[in-house]
A and B are shown apart, each in its own frame.
Chain A
Amino acid sequence: MTESDLQKLLGTSDPDRGCDESGALMDEYCEAVLRGEGSSAHFAEFCAHIANCTACREDTESLLALLREQDSTNPG
């Protein structure tokens, strides 16, 4: 058994504001990631949430992929 198996099952104890409040930050977070600012303390609870919530993590990954695609289509 690895630590990540157990963490996937039981989540982490980091502060987590849940899907609704985290969802409100998703767009801001994704643009920050593209600017290289995704690790800002402002997003700590959002990052804890997407580590624990598969649905919100997948949605965030989709939005990030969309923005990256748009950036590569419209550079500058």
Chain B
Amino acid sequence: MTTVTLDRESAEWLRDLQDDGRSREHAVARLHALMLRVAHREASRRRATLPGRTLEDVDDICVQAASDALMAVLAKLETYRGAARFTTWACKFAIYETSTRLRRHAWRQRKVELDDTIWDRLADASPPALQRLENDQLIAALYRAIDEHLTERQRLIFRSAAMDDVPIDVLAERLGTSRGAIYKTLYDARAKLRHALIEAGYGEQERES
């Protein structure tokens, strides 16, 4: 195992957070303040993409995200190995918690078709991703591949995430699972579709990995 020497500031954070007394209290308070600043900054960065109702709740969302990020950092403290500065490591939890909450809140009143009724809409409107494609034969081959090669869950997740641009964090919440699990299903579905399209004469042979 590679041994990493912590920079002074990271070592102090770790020492204080692992302390039993007042040093820990102060460090936890400082960490919470940092998580809250990062949460607000993340919300500010995303402001232009957020609907009005999410902007109204943004302070509460940031408070919840900061609290959950703090809990995540403290729970995972022993996994911190010093590959990056402690504050960089901690800030990624604040960004994750905030961005996930904002995506979900922004979609709260938007419908996501979670069953095969999604197919009924095809006659009326092209999904956003297909509006960007123009090759009718390729689109037809893609629909065939979706129909013939994907499982029901893969179809649902591919259609929602890749074609309808539903954030995977929103799908994870509505399907009661994690971002990672949704992504894995999407990854497998995409691999099947790429393979099917190559077999149908579209695209080039994939590289061996």
The A-B contact count (CB < 8 A) is 101
Interface of B is mostly: helix
Residues of chain B within 8 A (CB-CB) of A1 are 132-135, 138
Q: A19-B183, A53-B183, A54-B167 are in contact. Are A62 and B99 (CB under 8 A)?
A: yes
CB pair B168–A54 under 8 Å, yes or no, is yes
* A41 on interface, CB distance cutoff 8 Å: no
Q: A1-B133, A18-B184 are in contact. Are A9 and B163 (CB under 8 A)?
A: yes
Give the bracket for the number of chain B residues in contact with chain A.
35 or more
Q: A18-B187, A28-B83 are in contact. Are A55 and B179 (CB under 8 A)?
A: yes
The interface of chain A, by Cβ under 8 A from chain B, is 1, 5-6, 8-11, 13-16, 18-20, 23, 26-28, 30-31, 52-56, 58-59, 62-63, 65-67
Apart from A10-B194, A27-B84, A55-B169, list 9 A-B contacts with CB within 8 A.
A9-B133, A9-B163, A18-B183, A19-B179, A23-B96, A59-B99, A62-B99, A63-B91, A63-B92
